[in-house]
Amino acid sequence: MELFDCISAVARPIHDFGDEFMSDDATAAIGLRAGFAPGRGFYCRGRFGVLGEAPTSVVHAVQGFLGPGLITAGWRSGRFVMPPEEAAAVYARAVRTWGRAHIPADVDVEHFNHLAQQLIGAADADALPLFAGWRAQPCPGDDPVGAAMQRIHVLREHRGACHLAAVRLCGLSAQAAMVINLGIEQATHYGWPEPRPVAAALIPRWQRAERLTDELQAPLYAALTDRQRAEFAQLVNALTKTLTPWPDVVNTNRQTKP
């Protein structure tokens, strides 16, 4: 499989499978049992805890796409529960738990882990601190299914960090990119207060950012042979086949989900 064909084939399922984990009530329940109050505390403290005890403004700058109010409330509320490194470890366990419940039993997770780790190990983490933090998070060797889900999460963080850089390079704000990609309703859900429709003339910038994101990920996928890329794409498809399908559209003025 050609390099960019593989990137295109796996980008959406990797993103959406991770998104289902993050938005699942079962994930929120793990946070509640760990002592987090209902809301975004576990999500923020857990996902961004790999950054250490950073100021809220730094957390917002690193992740980019979520509204500042959401990050401020979630990150601050989590401070009263546990240190960031501990929260990240709890979140990683939640990632693996969710994976064991949702990855189909017939997937060759051992081969997936081998290929995914080649990709993760080949990545240059410069200017990608959230990815670097999650790559450094321990991944147990005695839980191959959970490890597969954790590697999905790490690869998702890599593309997300690359996409944030690409969006800014193309002259878009993160908020505008969210509205173009997800629509106004979902941009509001992700913490942007009263987002406005984005001018149609800006859509090509977002499309260029998507292409640039692929280019930034290319060095990872160059670490695999054509055959391995085909195998990896097949494994990602098999691993994520329980996904709830979403229409694949770009929105500006329509208040619909992606």
Q: How far apart are CA 3 and CA 16, in angstroms?
A: 21
Residue-level pLDDT at 257 = 30
Which is nearest to 146 in space by CA: 87, 104, 93?
93
Nearest partner of 60 among 162, 138, 175, judged by Cα? 175
Is the residue at 258 inside a domain? no
Q: What pLDDT score does 243 carry?
A: 83
DSSP 40: S
- Is residue 246, in this structure, part of any structural domain at all? no
Is 100 a member of any domain? yes
Q: Which pLDDT score is estimated for 42?
A: 97
Q: What pLDDT sits at residue 142?
A: 96
Give the burial class of 142: count Cβ atoms within 10 A of its Cβ; 0-12 exposed, 13-18 middle, 19 or more buried: exposed
8 Å CB contact between 168 and 161: no
pLDDT of residue 245: 60
Per-run averaged pLDDT (10 residues), the chain, 258 residues: 98 96 97 96 97 96 92 94 97 98 97 98 95 96 97 98 97 94 89 88 95 97 98 98 62 32
Q: What is the DSSP-derived secondary structure letter of residue 39?
A: S
**Which pTM value belongs to this model?**
0.92
In this structure, is residue 45 part of a structural domain?
yes
pLDDT at residue number 117 = 97
For residue 194, what pLDDT is reported? Answer: 83
Residue 254 domain-assigned (yes or no):
no
Tell me how many domains the chain contains: 1
Q: Which pLDDT belongs to residue 196?
A: 86
pLDDT score at 63: 93
Provide the 10 A C-beta neighbour count for residue 78. Answer: 26
Say if 234 falls within a structural domain. yes
| pLDDT for residue 189 | 87
Asked if residue 172 belongs to a domain, the reply is yes
User: Whole domain around residue 141: which residue ranges?
Assistant: 3-239
Task: Check residue 120 and give its pLDDT.
Answer: 98
Within a domain: residue 253?
A: no
Integer-rounded Cα Rg, in Å, for the chain is 18
